[in-house]
Structures are given as C-alpha cells and as structure tokens.
Structure 1
Amino acid sequence: MDDQAPRQRRQAMAQAVQQLDAQSNGRPPNGTPRGAPAQSEKPDDETDENIFLFVPNLIGYTRIILALASLFFMPLHPRRCSFLYSISCLMDALDGIAARKYNQSTRFGAVLDMVTDRCTTTCLLVFLATAKPAYSWIFQGLISLDLASHYMHMYATLAMGGAGESHKNGVLFTTCALNEVFFIALYLLCFSSPLITPALLPSAGLAGETGHSPTTPHQPIPSLLFPSPFSAAAMEMARANKMDSTVPWILTLAAAPVMVMKQYINIVQMVKASRWLAEGDRRDRKRAQLAAEGKGR
C-alpha cells in the first residue's frame, strides 16, 4: 500500500505535465491539433450529403451549359440560339419542382438559379445593345436595373435575416418567362424584320441596281423605328432572309406589357430593399447611441 501511493502520485504528475506540454504546443490534451474538429465534436445536424450533386443543382448546371451554347450561336444562328436559350429558361421551372419533390431546396441552389437568370438575360441584352447601338442606352439601363434590384434584394434579405424562401412563385415565374420571351422575340426580329433592320430589305431593289450585296447596302433606306440600318443581322443575310417575322412580332407585342411590368417590379423591389436596409441602419445607430450613453454614465 505504501509503495502504490507514491507510484500513483508520480503517474498523476506525469499526466499533468503531459497535458501542460500538449497545451503549450497548441494541442488539446487528447492530441488533436487545436482548431481541427475532433470526430466526436461533429455537430448533430451536420450530414455528409453532397449539396452540389442534388438534382435541382444538376438541372442548374445543365441550364448553364445550354445558355453557353446559345451564346455561341447567337451572332449567326438565331434559330439554334433561340431554341437553346428557351430550353434553358424553361428548365428554370424544373429545378423548383425537383427541389420540392426530393426535398432538396438549398440556399446554394437558389443563388445558382438567380445568378444564372441574371447572367443569361444580361448576355442577351448585351447582344441587342450591339445590334442596335442607337438604343444601347436602353438595354444598358435594363441591365443595370435588373442587377441592382436583385443584388439589393438579396443583400437586404441576408443582412436583415429574411426568411429563406424561393425568390420566385408561380406568378413571378410566368412574369419572368414572358419577359424573356419579349427579348428573345426582339432578338429574332433583328434577323427577320426590315422594319427593325433595314439591311434585310429584298436584294432585288437597290442592291440589284447598284451591284452591292444586302450585307453592305450602298444607300440603305432609313428605318421607321431605328435610325441606324446596320446591325448584327447583316452578318448572316442568307439565313435571315429565310426567317419570317410574323411569329416574332406577335410574341414581341404580346409580351411587351409583361416586360414593362417586370421592370416596374424591379423598381419596387429595389425601393423596398433600400428602405429595409435603411431601417436596419437606424436600429443599429440607435443601439450604438444607447451603448455609448451607457458607457458615459
């Protein structure tokens, strides 16, 4: 008994020295590097699911691939571009359906969806701005309004602790879809309507008399809507002349009111987000003022 007591004390002292040495070297007593979570410290609500491979996010990646393909065909092949662009936009509804069906709604998926929408619309508007330089300021303004509205709304939602709900419901999705239809139809008119692009006038007239091809008109007839007769449509006259402008005109006129309403929604959304952020600033300044007064007493 007398020999065991000193031995136990020496073992306890050795363990204490080992613990102090481990702590001084930046390691907890169990030998795990400080800052590295131990296996037993894993939160109960954390899983090993791969969010990036969720079905809605896979649909989102497919949308991006289709959008990139449409951009490749955009300058010279309006039919292929419109088809791929439209499929990419229509798949915007599938990711929401898949998210609800498989219970895979994620913040990453919502942001991926919104960023894809903003980028594809911006690219289409950039093309329209280059096709119609005289009206590029309108398309540039639409791009700025779209990006500013969605960014401020997303930032205000995150900063003010808004609920993580989807940024689209059924009505808003239909509005966004018809807004895209308007710009796609306007894009097709750049390749099919002489009213929009005077370079598309029949070659039997002025071009036949002067010997100039329709792609480089010598004295183009001024457009009734746009002052500049040169546009991206002249890059592929053979294909453009085979297109009929009836359906694009119908889609443009039918979707125009919805497009205007969508821009109004963007303005309202931006104003609402601005007021929300200002309200948060007032609360933060009030709390800081009260804290400063409390310290001064």
Structure 2
Amino acid sequence: MSARTRRQKAALGVPADDSEDLSAGNGTPSSPSKSKRAPSKKRSRSSLKEEPRENIFLFIPNLIGYFRVVLAIASLYYMPLHPRTCSLLYSVSCLLDALDGYAARYFNQSTTFGAVLDMVTDRCTTSCLIVFLSSAWPRWAIIFQGLICLDLASHYMHMYATLSMGGSDQSHKKVDSSRSWVLYQYYHSKVVLFICCALNELFFIGLYLLSFSSPILSPSLLQPIGEAQPLSAQPGNPANPVPSSLFASPWSAGALEMARANKIDSFWPWVITGISAPVMLFKQFVNIIQLVNASRWLAEGDRQARLANRKK
C-alpha cells in the first residue's frame, strides 16, 4: 500500500489493517468477529449430533418398572375372588423389584427417576394389599391402617431427608453407619434387604390367602350354609336364607366374604404367615428407626439453617 493511500485512509478514519479485509469484488469489508464465530457454531452443532439425547423413560430398568405396575394392577383386579391368580401376579411383580436393580447396575442405567419409580411402586402395591386386608377383617382395620401410615411416612421422610440433606445425586440406600447402625446393615447388604422385603410381602400375602381359607380368623361367614341354625323371621334376618339373598349387593363386604369362604386349604397360608411374621415385625422396626432418623436429620438441617441466618 502506498504512502498516499495510507494518508487517505487515515483521513477517512479507516485503520490501515482493516483494508486488507476488503473483498476484491465489491470492496465491502468483511466481519472478522463473524468469521471467527462461525467455526464455533459448527463445532457445537456437530457435538450435539455426536451426543444424542438419552430417553430416560426407555431405560431397561424403567421398562421393568412399568411391567411391575401392569402386573400389580392385574393382581388388584383378581384380588377379590381369585386368590391363586392374584398371589402369582403379585409375587412376580415383587420379585421383579430385585431384577430392575440388577439391570440398572449391569447396563449402567441407574437414575433418580428409576429409584423413585421403584419405591412408589412398592409402597402403592403393599398399601393396596393391606387395604384389602382391612376390608376382609374390619376388626383389625386400625392396625392395617397404622401399618400403611408407618410405611408411607418412613419412606417418604427418609427419601426427602436424603435428597435435601445429602444432595440430589444421593441415593436413599446409601446410609452412613454413624447415623444409624441398623439402617446401615439393612441397606448395605443386598441379601438382607431382599430377604426383609420379600418376607414382609410374603406375610401380607399369607394373610390374604387366609381370608379365603381360615375359619379361625373369620368364623361367622366361613361356616358351611347347611350347618347354619334357623334364625328368627325378622325383616332382614329370615330363617334359613338362600345365600344369594343374604346381601342386596354381590360386591358388599359380606357377600365377598361369603364368596371367599373355603376356596383354598388353610395349611400353607398359615405356614407362610408364621414363617414370615418375625421378619415382618423386624421390617416395621426398621421403618420406625428410619422415620426417627430422618426426622432428626431434617431437624439438624433446620438448626444449621437457623444458625446461618443469625450470623447474617
């Protein structure tokens, strides 16, 4: 570039270095900043193509979880009058609880959504079964209702405390031994956890089967109709009534109990219930410790937050 040309450019206020960026065709200056940003856009777009977005909902452990939900709903459909079919579907749904955890570790697909789905499915299926037991034995309904409340409250508070105090990436099964030795042993060993959960469910399945078989637990309507004594001829209490005319609705509690009478033998349900009862009691003890421990952990976080606010 000549000295005259430089003086002209200086008089017009155009830097001499920018003159080299003029295009040869029409003399329009190009934008250096745009030319530098263009490759970065290309790189970001290519990186998005190389890393496709994962669909968490279609992970194999979560697909197993959906299948568990389907089996649980099917078991509820057969629950009032079909004990064998219901028990089979319910048991398979519970056993798949161990399979989805193994699949999550094997395929490296452990997710927070999967953990919550697993816990919600467990709590809902167990609660539905206990609700049926409350209707089968109304005199023990308050005990069954207490078990539902304890189960839901302990697991909810434990998971909430873990996420709020331990962090969003913290698993509810990672319990430090300094906080609770019992919970550490319960969650640390997969064998202990599986046995406790399996036998706890087996206990309630045993009670469910006894509602179809045991004259000890339900003596009034589980007696054969032929052995019933003639009753007084009062309205609603006829002598030697026909079974179909005892209840106005075939779906009433009494009609369903009559329909369940003596459907299966009571020997094996008593065996299942007796063997699993101690483990069920231990599981409820763990639920109490879990509830108390989570409450103390949340209270500790509240104290720390209040202390931090006072220092401000």
TM-score by length of 1: 0.76
Looking at structure 2, the residues matched to 132 and 255 of structure 1 have their Cα atoms a distance apart, in angstroms, of 20
Determine if the alignment matches structure 1 residue 200 to structure 2 residue 229: no
Looking at structure 2, the residues matched to 243 and 141 of structure 1 have their Cα atoms a distance apart, in angstroms, of 29
Match of 2:140 in 1: 135
Check 1:127–1:215 CA distance in 2 against 1; reply closer, same or farther (3 A cut): farther
Looking at structure 1, the residues matched to 291 and 302 of structure 2 have their Cα atoms a distance apart, in angstroms, of 16
The partner residue of 1:212 within 241, 260, 280 is: 241
Looking at structure 2, the residues matched to 197 and 214 of structure 1 have their Cα atoms a distance apart, in angstroms, of 17
Deviations 1:32-72 (A, max 9, x none): xxxxxx74897x9x762222111111111100000000111
Check 1:146–1:62 CA distance in 2 against 1; reply closer, same or farther (3 A cut): same
Q: Say whether the 8 Å CA contact 2:136–2:211 is kept in structure 1.
A: yes
SS in 2 for 1:104: coil
Deviations 1:77-131 (A, max 9, x none): 2221111111101111111111122222111111110000000011111111122
CA offset at residue 242 of structure 1? 3.3
Looking at structure 2, the residues matched to 208 and 79 of structure 1 have their Cα atoms a distance apart, in angstroms, of 34
List gaps (5 residues or longer) in structure 2. Answer: 23-27, 39-43, 175-186, 232-238
Deviations 1:125-171 (A, max 9, x none): 11111222222111111111111000000000001125326475321
SS in 2 for 1:241: coil
Deviations 1:186-238 (A, max 9, x none): 111111111112211122301689533457779xxxxxxxxxxxx84742746
Check 1:139–1:98 CA distance in 2 against 1; reply closer, same or farther (3 A cut): same
Looking at structure 2, the residues matched to 94 and 177 of structure 1 have their Cα atoms a distance apart, in angstroms, of 13
Q: Say whether the 8 Å CA contact 1:201–1:214 is kept in structure 2.
A: no
Please provide the CA RMSD for this pair. 3.4
SS in 2 for 1:289: helix
Amino acid at match of 1:185: G
Looking at structure 1, the residues matched to 290 and 156 of structure 2 have their Cα atoms a distance apart, in angstroms, of 10
SS in 2 for 1:204: helix
Q: Radius of gyration: which is bigger?
A: 2
Q: Say whether the 8 Å CA contact 1:200–1:240 is kept in structure 2.
A: yes
Amino acid at match of 2:286: I
Q: What percentage of residue pairs aligned between the two structures are identical?
A: 59
Determine if the alignment matches structure 1 residue 82 to structure 2 residue 87: yes
Determine if the alignment matches structure 1 residue 189 to structure 2 residue 210: yes
Looking at structure 2, the residues matched to 280 and 13 of structure 1 have their Cα atoms a distance apart, in angstroms, of 61
Match of 2:100 in 1: 95
Check 1:81–1:203 CA distance in 2 against 1; reply closer, same or farther (3 A cut): same
